[in-house]
A = this chain, B = another copy of it.
Amino acid sequence: MAEIGKKTLRSWRRLARAQSFVADRIEAALKGAGLPALVWLAAFDELEKAGEPGLRPFELQRALELEQPAVSRLLDKMIGAGMAERRECDDDRRGWTVTATDSGRKTQERMATTQVAALTEHYLAHLSDKQARTLDEILGEFLSSSRASGNENSKNDH
């Protein structure tokens, strides 16, 4: 197990380093373009995917895997910036729904463009086509395998 530990460790550290390398570049590109942080884009994408009825905050929370107060405050800011809209929802008076505004969708698009540019430069550029495909494939299987088994004790179910 000592030998397995070493190899495992190395590949895990590479995974972590690669991720933070790319994430840092994307965040820097967004900040450089005067755009909000990457979570906003994830939120916009979820809202878009959800379509017309919009999303309940708790649904967005699960999609983004954030703490509940984090979503609460994120939505505060998005609404405060005029990029998301709060709608009352009839069937549950505890909650409400969010949708993106036109301004929000515009920002979403600019963020997406910036992200793709950063990914092209800092991610794709360092992988061959074959490597990119293989990586995607392995990670896809990894994620479905891990989701199938070990999701009982995630940090976000309280």
Interface size on A, residues (CB 8 A): 54
Query: Min CB distance, A93 to chain B, in Å?
Result: 33
Assembled-state Cα–Cα distance A43/B58 (Å): 37
Query: Min CB distance, A30 to chain B, in Å?
Result: 12
Given the known inter-chain contacts A5-B116, A7-B136, A146-B122, please indicate yes or no for A154 contacting B24, CB distance below 8 A.
yes
Per-position binary interface string of chain A over residues 84-123, scored 1 when its CB falls under 8 Å from any chain B CB and 0 otherwise: 0000000000000000000000000000100110011111
Is residue A35 contacting chain B, with contact meaning CB distance below 8 A? no
Assembled-state Cα–Cα distance A23/B9 (Å): 12
A126 close to B139 (CB less than 8 A): no
Per-position binary interface string of chain A over residues 23-64, scored 1 when its CB falls under 8 Å from any chain B CB and 0 otherwise: 111011000000000000000000000000000000000000
